[in-house]
Amino acid sequence: MAGRTLTQHAVPITFGLKAAGWLTGVLDARDQLAALRFPIQVGGAAGSLAAPTALAGDPSRARELVAAVAGHLGLPAREPWHTSRAPLTRVADAFVTCTDAWGRIANDVLVGSRPEVHELVEGGAEGKGGSSAMPNKQNPVHAVLVKRAAIAGPPLAALVHAGAAAAVDERPDGGWHVEWATLRTLARRTVVAGAQTAELLAGLRVDTGKMLATLHDARPDIDAEQQSITPGVSPDHPYLGATEEIIDAVLSRAAAGPG
């Protein structure tokens, strides 16, 4: 198929390479989620462990009790973080890495499903994607919904960061309070968009014939780089670089799990 950069034809690629690019984004999101840590937050009113220390009898015993509670809950132990909000901003960032990956797939499907391109077709189901005005029309509804989530995600994460930046004194006055509702919305949209992306991919139809025809029509211009680097070589000779090795590496990474 024709590769595209800045919306224009670039060098030839394979659809497998494009899908490997999709998968790379998903794996990046998976790894970022897997790396999240949720440390215990037991710091007392102002992050000094004053009340636990008074009850336990000495500071060391109070800190031991906090560590014991963390172990019981299966959470990492950490010093109080009332106004150090990185544990929450990292969660928001991980969610956005997910919606970025989903959105990148959706964008390719939206472009590829344009009638004048028609290389990708979102699978239709009864009652989905139809048009009240044009019965013949099949709208790429899943891709549209996923793109919506991808566009809305970064501003929500930015709001969580704004709350962290507004932290003041030993307990924030407002910045704290914007976090949970925002994270809840961002989490819900991320999970829903993930499910919609899975459904989109499960029904995606790839028109390899149309891809090949578009590549054929783009010649000889699309072979300009190949001809400049290896003059005299037939444009029918594959100019696909390390495509197969890249695909294999991405699939191996997927099989290996987070890390």
Nearest Cα to 170, choosing from 46, 75, 33, 68?
Answer: 46
- Do strands 2-5 and 120-121 pair parallel, antiparallel, or not at all (unpaired)? unpaired
Task: State the DSSP code for 161.
Answer: H
Place of tokens 């594959």: 238
Q: Is 27 left (phi over 0), alpha (psi -120 to 50) or beta?
A: alpha
234 catalytic residue (yes or no): no
The set of residues, in sequence order, having a beta carbon less than 8 Å from that of 32 and lying 6+ positions away, is 93, 94, 97
Q: How far is CA 75 from CA 49, 67, 79, 180, in A?
A: 18, 9, 13, 19
Annotated active-site residue in 90, 104, 148, 171: 171
Contact at 8 Å (CB) between 93 and 157? yes
132 catalytic residue (yes or no): no
Instruction: Kindly report the number of other CB atoms within 10 A of residue 220's CB atom.
Output: 9
Q: What is the CA radius of gyration of the chain?
A: 25
Distance from C-alpha of 22 to C-alpha of 201, rounded to nearest angstrom: 11
Helices (H), the chain: 15-34, 50-56, 59-73, 86-112, 141-165, 175-203, 208-217, 224-229, 243-256
Q: Give the HSE-up count for residue 91: Cα atoms under 13 Å, Cβ half-sphere.
A: 18
Contact at 8 Å (CB) between 120 and 113? yes
Annotated active-site residue in 60, 114, 131, 205: 131
List residues with catalytic annotation.
Answer: 131, 171
